[in-house]
Amino acid sequence: MKNEFQNSWLPMVLASASPRRAALLAEIGIVFEVVPGQVNEIPREYLSPGELARFYARKKAREAAIRLPDRLVLGADTVVCLENRVFGKPANMAEARACLTLLQGRSHQVITGVCLLCHRSHCERLFAVGTTVRFRPLTSRQIDGYLKKINPLDKAGAYAIQEYGEMIVEEIAGSYSNVVGLPVERLQEELSALGWSQPKQAPKSTCAAVRNQPFAATLQSQVAL
C-alpha cells in the first residue's frame, strides 16, 4: 500500500486529555503532544455503540485537525455497553454504583473508536475495536469497596481495568489496552499503513491481545498506568 502521510517528522497530536491514552502512546514510542478537543458528548440513541464511539472519535479529531492542518491527529472515544445499552461516565457515585451493579456477574463490551486524521495530507483512518469483559459476581459491599479505591466519575462504565481491576474483572477476550482506552495493536497497523514512522515497537507484555484468559493471571503481565 502506498504511504499516504507525508509529515511524519512532526509530532502526532493526541486530541484527548486522557492520561491513560497518553501513557499508552508513550509506551509504544509515539512522539506526540496533547491538544484536547472541546466536544460535548450527548446521547445519540439512533447510533449503535460502535457507531457512537467512531462518531465522537472523528469529532474530536476534526476539532483539533482544523486548528493544526499539517499534523496527524488522533481522536479516540471509549464506550461501555451491555446489550446495546451504553454506559458513559457516571454523574455521581450513586450512578457509578448502579452501573457496576448491572455489570456484575455478566459480560459486556468495551468499544473504542479511533480516528487518525490529517487535513493537509488528505488522509483519514476511522475504526473501532471491541473487547469483551466479564465481571465477577459482586456483592454491594464489594462494589462499595472498589469505588472507594478509584475515582469512577471520569471513566466510562464507572471502572478502570488498570486500577484494581482484579477486584471486579474475571476475564477479558480481546485487547487489554483497548479497555484502558486505546487499541494499540490496531493503531500500530493503521499507522504503518499511513507511513507513520514509530521509534520502537510496543512491549508485547503490555499491549498484546489477551483472549479468553482469567484476568487475575493476565494482570501480572500488564504494566499499571
User: What is the end-to-end Cα distance of the chain in Å, rounded?
Assistant: 34
- 77 is a catalytic site residue: yes
In a 13 Å sphere around the CA of 193, the CA atoms on its Cβ side amount to: 12
Q: Per the structure block, which three cell numbers stand in for 169?
A: 474483572
For 51, phi then psi, to 5°, come to -65, -40
Alpha helices in the chain (DSSP H): 19-27, 49-67, 93-103, 140-147, 176-180, 184-194, 204-207, 215-219
Query: Could you say which of 70, 77, 144, 154 is catalytic?
Result: 77
Of the candidates 177, 173, 179, the residue with the CA atom closest to the CA atom of residue 156: 179
At which residue does the C-alpha cell 485537525 appear? Answer: 65
Taking the C-alpha atoms of residue 58 and residue 156, their distance in angstroms, rounded to an integer, is 18
Which residues are marked as active site?
77
